[in-house]
Structure 1
Amino acid sequence: MEKSWKYAHYFTLVGTSGKNVVVRCQLCGESKTFSTAKNSTSNLLKHLKGTHSTTQLVEKEVRLATARESRVSLPAKQPKLDFSREPRVTLEELNQLVAGYIVEEMLPLSTVDSSSFRRIIDKIPSNNNVHLPHRKSFTSYLENEYKKMKAALKLALDDVQFVSSTADIWTANNRSYMGVTIHWFNQDTLERHKAALACKRVRGRHTFDVIAAELEQIHSSFGLLNKVVATVTDNASNFVKAFKTFPPPESDEDEKEEEEEEEQEDVLFTDIAEALTSVSDEGHITLPPHYRCAPHTINLISTSDVEKYLTSSQATKSVYRVTIAKCTALWTKASRSTVAAEQGQEVSQMKLLDPSSTRWNSFYDAVSRVAEIPMNELNNLCNKLGIKCFNEKEYQFMHEYCIAIKPLTAALDILQGDECPYGAIQTRFSIVLDNKDALLAAISCPKFKLRWVKDGARKQQLKNLLVAECQILSSSAGDSDKTDNVPNKVITTVTGMEFFEFESNELSELRGFELDTLSNYPAVKKVFLKYNTPTPSSASVERLFSLGGLVLTPRRNRLSDSRFEKLLLMRYNHCFTSPDHLKKSEQ
């Protein structure tokens, strides 16, 4: 419905004269009239501001449908939208909006019973008899939405051939939980996707067999036992032992070799009853290949390995310990005293950082922040705080320490060297540097291919490795149907190693960086999907635990384990924002 001019209630319509209208000012009395254009109110506004400047004017917008007879109707210069039919919200839409708000913002479920919150909801135009359900009914609605999300996730994973997972254990409020996330590529767009599978309560000790049983059960519940190409965890001894004790099943080629060896051996008779009674649960558990989290491995290098190197020599041992001790005293003062923190901020123009035990780079950042302060200003700050000053040798040591540690924040491929402490990279990453899976992941990626290999014989060896893997995957079950429709030229390009011929001209080299080029080489694309699906770190499951800390707050310690897991998974997977790869299945 159209709205009139905000001061139209001060005038009464007398008549019309062509393109003008004649009105009477109610503030002036009955005798005085004014003529103004139908599409302009400037004359009337000037009259009010000039003649009635001492009067407190009140703005009022009167709907023309109810006051057209007694108010001045001034035609608008532009057509106005008709808002007479306001959109109405259905019960399903209302539940979706409220559930999305509560889950995404990690609010208590009792929010729906809050009187102030319900007053806000009541202002939303809705159909008749549509009201927000109370907590009990709303909880049942969330249960159904969780079932839909889980079914949609299973449906999305059914079409994926290769997936990888990350796992870790988190403890909060005297409870322990195992979190598992899953990662995969969209086979058409090569876009990486992720989702959270579980955050289950783990009772008792976190032994290797408990971890193995829980992890296999989670993978099995989503039908992923034969799809998980690797699981990424940190370097915790219980996780490492679990994967060593329950390795993945041997390949068909290894089994054939063992069968041939067994045929040549003498026949041995076994007591069947004894064999059946001696079978343990360990024989039924198999875990996927294990990858260690690269950032966690770097953490070990930057902490334990660097400290071992610096304390192994008397020349560096004393200066290292004294310098770090003075820095620690400075951080302690700044973190425990507001006066000290303000003084530090005045000197450095930035806040002094307090290292965190969970992130190694925070220690580097804290030392680097201290090293940025000029030496005379730094010692002035130490005098104010009652801390021993830094001498020239210790101040220089901080700068050299930062220069030496800074490369560890960059990518792993730029870290080289055989001498300590960087020699620890060769020790801790030796398995990865010569690992077949890691090599296939690198050479099947168009961005790298063989650019990082200098030795000619090594290049040829890796080419043969890729061709052999392409042939194995192409001859796997169910693959013949997909490759039958592929032109012969595409198959010959793989066996002819044309995938590596990127140095012929600059244009082809630039195009080789795009993942889209893998569509021309379906066998190489399959190798890429299999060996690049694993993530380099377990940061995804750490983010899951970060959200868990916001859901399982001390005030919500009575939240059941099952409900906590469901709320957390819906939040992590953005259940109510409907991502494209996790659209809810129709029921």
Structure 2
Amino acid sequence: MHPRVIHSLPKADTSNDGDEQSGKDTAPPPLKQAILSTPAITQRRLNSLVFDFIVNEVQPFSTVENTSFRKMVEGLSGGRSPVCRKTLMTHIEKTFPKMKEAITEILLHTQNVCTTADIWTAHHRSFIGITCHWIESDTLDRKSAALACERIRGHHTYDVIAAKISQVHAEFQIQGKVSATVTDNGSNFVKAFNEYGDSETEDGLEDTDDVQFDDVTTVLEEQEHEELNFFLPPHHRCAAHTLNLIATTDLDKAASQQGVSKKIYRSAKAKCAAIWNKAHRSSGASDVIEEIAQMRCVVPSVTRWSSEYHAIEKLMNLPESQLNEICEQLKVAKLHPQETVFLREYAAILKPLAYSVNLLQGEKNCYFGYVIPTLLSLKAKLSEKLTQVQFSTHILLAIIKAIDTRFAAVLASHEARMAASTIPKFRLWWLADDERESMRRTMVQEARLLNTEPSNDSSTTGHTSVGNEPEDDDDDSFFSFQSTQVTCSTAEDEVQRYLQDSDKTLTSLKGYPLIRALFLKYNTTLPSSAPVECLFSHGGLVFTPHRNRMTDKHFEEVLLLRYNRLYWTVD
């Protein structure tokens, strides 16, 4: 048996110079744990963070008085206390006007803007929301700001709407800069712009060449008793909302006209609605669907056709066996094979329509120039499906006809055609061959007008006082016979080069200053009023049943501060 050898490690020499080695072993000193020191937070910084949290995360004002919240903040800040509710409200009231001033300053240096407007009602209170949108001339990035979400009392009549919109435009000094105000198809909005807006609207009055003379005294007397007139910008109806009307009103009317199709259409949608109602009212029913189909059941919104379409599409993507099992488990009527065929056909043929609605609701990367190419592509794709359907031929024809009818003014609009032509993605490719030359000449003419606009620079403008002889420089400027020819050549050349360019990105416009200016002029307008609806979705978070006692003033301040978070900081 081998003896066990124990090897010992040499001891570390812990003796100091001049000291004798101790008889006892000295253990090495324990390692000290590194202490992470956090920089001290100032009270001002703490107040700013709490303010951001309350406003941007849509928290109740009472949160700052919550004991647990205060303990957490004090523990994280090294004993500093968060602001009280009264101080928080003071910060909001001070920050709100500064935010408005910042937005007004930006809009003062912006040439073209577009606004959207809508009315929202919740908890027996109504508010009119107005948002503003523009394109930065350097980067061509879309920018947005919320201008108002004011309380409306009483009836939402056209004159009340006109007064509010005119007031907000004047408050932010954008009266002469608004290319158009986009709203839904509500009759009160349409009448407001017909009465107080540009006469060249979709429902405008016809021009007349008759000259009428009125007695000046009579006119002045009438004006003394006449209410203040409001002058509104041109009005555009929301393209997405119009398509939504086509997909609901016009489609439902067409599907309900024929006997067999009418029965299948109504019974199939009723059975789908029964499934959605079960899933909406009972979590157990929703769990059944998720267990069988391995998916969440989509319950459509009542006012959104696209959400209903996607809900039908999701059901129709299920195998027939799973669909029947869901109906059996939920104890609702099963879909007949003909109804299933109809719904699958419905989902297939209307997919381009649902895509178009979602496309035109965009904000950052969608412009007014998208409207006509989208409508033309939609009509072409719907026409292609006419030979592929069994039950829905009359539905497709009705939708195509409704597009031509409801969008007749837009399809013939000079502004919409110019907007599409100045987007590199489309240029003139969306036009028929025999129409391209005419549109090219129109673009050249518009470019010439831009290139011959007089300069606002006082140093290059000859100011001649009354009774004085014009200076020689003024003579040279007046007797200029070559500038028009040069301008025409420049515009013609730039338009031709732009149309021959294959680059489809907006960055390509850097090489075409005249086309870029036309793009900014005609594409500032949005195709839909979706942004103001987004503003109201923020309002739904703020204006909850637990916080509906908030005053109208505080509600607007918090809502706009949250939407315009890029335009303010807390002092």
TM-score (norm 2): 0.79
Structure 1 residues 507-561: Cα deviation after superposition (integer angstroms, max 9, x where no partner): x412xx2323323333322221121011111111111101111111112222110
CA distance in 2, matches of 1:367, 1:396: 12
Structure 1 residues 350-403: Cα deviation after superposition (integer angstroms, max 9, x where no partner): 233222112211211221222222223423433343333322211111111111
Report the secondary structure of 2:133's partner residue. strand
Does 2:473 correspond to 1:496? no
Conserved? CA contact 1:90–1:126, under 8 Å: no
Corresponding position of 2:106: 156
Residues 1-40 of structure 1: pairs in structure 2 closer than 5 A: 15-16=14-15, 31-34=24-27
What amino acid is aligned across from residue 313 of structure 1 in structure 2?
Q
CA distance in 2, matches of 1:144, 1:23: 73
Corresponding position of 2:363: none
Conserved? CA contact 2:133–2:142, under 8 Å: yes
The count of corresponding residues between Structure 1 and Structure 2 is 500
Against the structure 1 CA distance between its residues 514 and 494, is the aligned structure 2 distance closer, same or farther, given a 3 Å change threshold? Answer: farther
Against the structure 1 CA distance between its residues 454 and 279, is the aligned structure 2 distance closer, same or farther, given a 3 Å change threshold? Answer: farther
Q: CA deviation at 1:92?
A: 2.6
Residues 76-475 of structure 1: pairs in structure 2 closer than 5 A: 87-125=39-77, 131-248=81-198, 268=213, 270-273=215-218, 275-278=220-223, 284-411=229-356, 412-413=374-375, 414-417=377-380, 419-456=397-434, 458-475=435-452
Against the structure 1 CA distance between its residues 515 and 355, is the aligned structure 2 distance closer, same or farther, given a 3 Å change threshold? Answer: closer
CA distance in 2, matches of 1:502, 1:472: 17
Conserved? CA contact 1:493–1:521, under 8 Å: no
Larger RCO (CA under 8 A, 6+ residues apart) = 2
Conserved? CA contact 1:494–1:523, under 8 Å: no
Conserved? CA contact 2:448–2:488, under 8 Å: no
Identity among equivalent positions (%) equals 38
Q: CA deviation at 1:454?
A: 2.5
Report the secondary structure of 1:179's partner residue. strand
Against the structure 1 CA distance between its residues 329 and 126, is the aligned structure 2 distance closer, same or farther, given a 3 Å change threshold? Answer: closer
Conserved? CA contact 1:467–1:494, under 8 Å: no
Against the structure 1 CA distance between its residues 530 and 331, is the aligned structure 2 distance closer, same or farther, given a 3 Å change threshold? Answer: same
Q: CA deviation at 1:460?
A: 1.9
TM-score (norm 1): 0.77
Against the structure 1 CA distance between its residues 308 and 91, is the aligned structure 2 distance closer, same or farther, given a 3 Å change threshold? Answer: same
Q: CA deviation at 1:463?
A: 1.8
Against the structure 1 CA distance between its residues 188 and 545, is the aligned structure 2 distance closer, same or farther, given a 3 Å change threshold? Answer: same
Corresponding position of 1:569: 560
Conserved? CA contact 1:186–1:192, under 8 Å: yes
CA distance in 1, matches of 2:439, 2:495: 13
CA distance in 2, matches of 1:194, 1:159: 15
Q: State which of 517, 524, 532 in structure 2 corresponds to 1:526.
A: 517
Conserved? CA contact 1:474–1:480, under 8 Å: no
Report the secondary structure of 1:123's partner residue. helix
What amino acid is aligned across from residue 206 of structure 1 in structure 2?
H
Conserved? CA contact 1:544–1:572, under 8 Å: yes
Q: CA deviation at 1:94?
A: 2.0
Q: CA deviation at 1:138?
A: 2.5
- The unaligned stretches of length 5 or more in structure 1 are 1-12, 25-29, 37-70, 252-256
Against the structure 1 CA distance between its residues 429 and 126, is the aligned structure 2 distance closer, same or farther, given a 3 Å change threshold? Answer: same
Structure 1 residues 156-209: Cα deviation after superposition (integer angstroms, max 9, x where no partner): 111100000111000011100000110001111111100100000000000111
CA distance in 2, matches of 1:476, 1:153: 28
CA RMSD in angstroms, aligned pairs only: 3.5
Corresponding position of 2:502: 509
What amino acid is aligned across from residue 507 of structure 2 in structure 1?
D
CA distance in 2, matches of 1:584, 1:364: 42
Q: CA deviation at 1:95?
A: 1.9
What amino acid is aligned across from residue 95 of structure 1 in structure 2?
N
Q: CA deviation at 1:17?
A: 7.2
CA distance in 2, matches of 1:15, 1:452: 88
The 10-residue stretch of structure 1 (424-433 or 326-335) with the greater mean CA deviation from structure 2:
326-335
Structure 1 residues 301-353: Cα deviation after superposition (integer angstroms, max 9, x where no partner): 11111111111112311111121122222222333334433333333222332
Report the secondary structure of 2:502's partner residue. helix
Corresponding position of 2:472: none
CA distance in 2, matches of 1:292, 1:350: 37
What amino acid is aligned across from residue 379 of structure 2 in structure 1?
Q
What amino acid is aligned across from residue 407 of structure 2 in structure 1?
F
The 10-residue stretch of structure 1 (192-201 or 136-145) with the greater mean CA deviation from structure 2:
136-145
Conserved? CA contact 2:126–2:151, under 8 Å: yes
Against the structure 1 CA distance between its residues 369 and 72, is the aligned structure 2 distance closer, same or farther, given a 3 Å change threshold? Answer: closer
Q: CA deviation at 1:281?
A: 5.4
Conserved? CA contact 2:327–2:333, under 8 Å: yes
Conserved? CA contact 1:327–1:367, under 8 Å: yes
Conserved? CA contact 1:196–1:572, under 8 Å: yes
CA distance in 1, matches of 2:548, 2:68: 24
Structure 1 residues 548-578: Cα deviation after superposition (integer angstroms, max 9, x where no partner): 111111122221101110111000111xxxx
Report the secondary structure of 1:284's partner residue. coil
What amino acid is aligned across from residue 51 of structure 2 in structure 1?
A
Conserved? CA contact 1:229–1:288, under 8 Å: yes
Corresponding position of 1:41: none
Against the structure 1 CA distance between its residues 554 and 493, is the aligned structure 2 distance closer, same or farther, given a 3 Å change threshold? Answer: farther
Q: CA deviation at 1:503?
A: 6.6
Q: CA deviation at 1:240?
A: 1.0
Q: CA deviation at 1:90?
A: 2.9
Q: CA deviation at 1:23?
A: 12
Conserved? CA contact 1:299–1:360, under 8 Å: yes
CA distance in 2, matches of 1:503, 1:23: 94
The 10-residue stretch of structure 1 (273-282 or 305-314) with the greater mean CA deviation from structure 2:
273-282
Against the structure 1 CA distance between its residues 478 and 280, is the aligned structure 2 distance closer, same or farther, given a 3 Å change threshold? Answer: farther
Report the secondary structure of 2:312's partner residue. helix
CA distance in 2, matches of 1:162, 1:537: 17
- The unaligned stretches of length 5 or more in structure 2 are 1-11, 202-206, 357-373, 384-396, 462-482
CA distance in 2, matches of 1:236, 1:463: 36
Report the secondary structure of 2:107's partner residue. helix
Report the secondary structure of 1:89's partner residue. coil
